[in-house]
Amino acid sequence: MTAIETTDLTKQYGSTTAVADLDLSVPDGVVYGFLGPNGAGKTTTMRMLTSLTRPSSGSARIAGVPVDDRQRLIERVGYLPEEPPLYTELTAREQLTYVAGLRDLPEDETSRRIEELLDRLDLADDADRRIDAYSKGMRQKTAFVQSLLHDPDVLFLDEPTSGLDPRAARTIREMIDDLAAEGTTVFLSTHILPVVDEHADTVGVLYDGELVAEGPPGDLKRQADAGAGDDTGGAGERTLEDVFLEVTSEDPAADEATVEGATDVR
């Protein structure tokens, strides 16, 4: 089944079009890297796909469930937003147990899962301390565990490694790969392009609310190479950053170079 399917998905805030006629089709079990400059509409898209914001028009389904069917949707999706909701007067263990209870997850199995995840993220020793005494990274780890506790079909991650030390960041990246290998679709929004380059099967670039490029990272880089008419280096000389800068540029010359590469979906 298609994990994420959107048709003409649009969100208006007054006269601002945050997301315009977005068509996405993301299969099960892939890592989809979702890129775009500040204000491009990434958060708005993820909020629509997790039923936190209602689309102005168009439609979207997650694992076959329409996004306006909130009851069924919340079982299928996990979301790690940029500013995760945590009850800071609770400990991490209490917070996670509380959320598991709200979701009616089986107790024994879930408590085993919580311990496993806390351990993997090196948070087990601090799990009985209150969250208000946590560092930013410790909060981020707690929120990450919270987003996947119910084993969602589709996991939306907004800057998941934000504030994490290199070891923890690597653990999260490994977990993203593991989740995808087990069939979870990971929708990964980040400005850290090497992470997307390494882990994403497909990349989508949003610019001014529109999807301006989409494809496997290797293809995008090769096509940008060809589009630039650059014969000084072979394929692979271009980085994802080069692709990003080209497809999100106001400069028509740069745009033209990319359109020639046939990657551009405008």
Ligand X SMILES: Nc1ncnc2c1ncn2[C@@H]1O[C@H](COP(=O)(O)OP(=O)(O)OP(=O)(O)O)[C@@H](O)[C@H]1O
- Which residues are near ligand X by CB under 6 A? 13, 16, 18, 36, 38-44
Cβ at position 103, least distance to ligand X in Å: 26
**Which is closer to ligand X, CB of 42 or CB of 150?**
42
Coil, helix or strand at residue 57: strand
Q: How many residues does the chain have?
A: 266
**Which is closer to ligand X, CB of 13 or CB of 87?**
13
DSSP code for 53: S
- Cβ within 8 Å of residue 14, ≥6 positions away: none
Nearest-5° angle of CA 7, CA 209, CA 83?
100
Instruction: Give the Cβ contact number of residue 133 at 10 Å.
Output: 10
Cβ at position 18, least distance to ligand X in Å: 3
- End-to-end distance of the chain based on CA atoms, in angstroms? 26
**Which is closer to ligand X, CB of 18 or CB of 114?**
18
**Which is closer to ligand X, CB of 123 or CB of 154?**
154
Cβ at position 50, least distance to ligand X in Å: 13
Beta bridge partners of 204: 34, 214
Closest of 70, 51, 68, 56 to residue 8, by C-alpha: 56
Distances, alpha carbon 93 to alpha carbons 125, 137, 264, in Å: 11, 16, 46
Cβ at position 34, least distance to ligand X in Å: 9
**Which is closer to ligand X, CB of 39 or CB of 194?**
39
Cβ at position 189, least distance to ligand X in Å: 7
- Cβ within 8 Å of residue 174, ≥6 positions away: none
Cβ at position 40, least distance to ligand X in Å: 4
**Which is closer to ligand X, CB of 22 or CB of 99?**
22
**Which is closer to ligand X, CB of 214 or CB of 225?**
214
Task: Using CA atoms of 221, 225, 227, 231 in order, give the dihedral in degrees to the nearest 10.
Answer: -170
d(CA 195, CA 169): 10
Cβ at position 23, least distance to ligand X in Å: 17
